[in-house]
Structure 1
Amino acid sequence: MQIGYGWSFHTRDQQPVCDLAALNAMGAERCFVVSDPSDRSLVLEQAMGFLRPHDSFLVRSVERLGPSMSDVMNVAKALADAGAKLQILDLPPAPGNVSGDVLVAVARCLSRALETSTPVTAPVDPEPEEPAARPGQRGRPVAIAVEHHDSVRRLVREHGQSVSQVARRFGVSAATIYRVLSRP
């Protein structure tokens, strides 16, 4: 059986993403489609749970398998362990054993993506500095200097980092980040 997994939602920049037509064109008999970005791992898990030995797992592109190389490789290993083949749009299935097929397909797709893509660098916010002690200051020192509040807001609201990720980055508690976010 050919099992399809894809996305169908709007990205942060309001670009529509819909893989259903591509999956149907690839011959998918059953499709698992993510309609909310926060459900990606849940729907992927459901699709992987539906697989049986000798099934084909169809995806439009390798980034559908995970946000990082280790996530992609974990999915590839799970597919190989399930005895399923991986087929990525525009890449013909490779002959050989199942685990080799999966890894070859992922490697070919990654190498094609690296050859054709232009490097994209995310803006890097400066690492927080230690708050300077002010003479005559009473009470507890501030956890995050006021000049870093915009960076905190930008990391959470624009870059989509979780409150706990930002808290770890600045070395403070999540409650501190929530207080910064609640201030104008």
Structure 2
Amino acid sequence: MKRATKLVLSILTVTGVCMSGATAFANPLQTIDGREGTTSGDITIKGIIGEFDNTKPGPNPENLDRWINVTIPTTAIFHTTEESEHKKITSPSYQVTNHSALSVRATVSNVTEIKEMSEVDRLTINTIELFNKGVSTVTATPLFTLSGNQGSNTVGNFQFIGDATPKNASVESNPSFNLVLNFAVEA
């Protein structure tokens, strides 16, 4: 009888874990075992009533991505410098701001819609290489982690630097691409 009960409980546990997905692994479990004198246990219950506000600390929603609340620039530029005979690339500094109550990791995940990058020998964002000899070299790489909105590190800065070989430095060319940043909650 004991063996059959253990088997049924094991099957139910595995079924419950499989059906609930990663959520089951994210919460610590407790074992109630009468052989050890334990016959009861407490479960902490937290609720969300009304519209979830990702700027306030509280219980996690079912979808942790709902915590993500960041501000990013919609456009950015890079350019060569006249002092370097248009061979050195620089840019203004840009900011990403986390408004969420939780820490958020920003990752450079891709570049898309690449146009006219042949004159760009090398281009990096902070220390992450984006292009080498005009060809994308992006692999998903963390850019920075921003603390929750009550922390001291809610703003991350990025800047583009690199090298170029212009075909004709007296004629402007306009390379472009879309930078794809991915954001994830740091649990």
Q: Which has the higher contact order (CA 8 A, sep 6+)?
A: 2
Is the radius of gyration larger for structure 1 or structure 2?
A: 2
**If the length of structure 2 is used for normalisation, what is the TM-score?**
0.25
**If the length of structure 1 is used for normalisation, what is the TM-score?**
0.26
Q: 1 or 2, which has the higher strand percentage?
A: 2
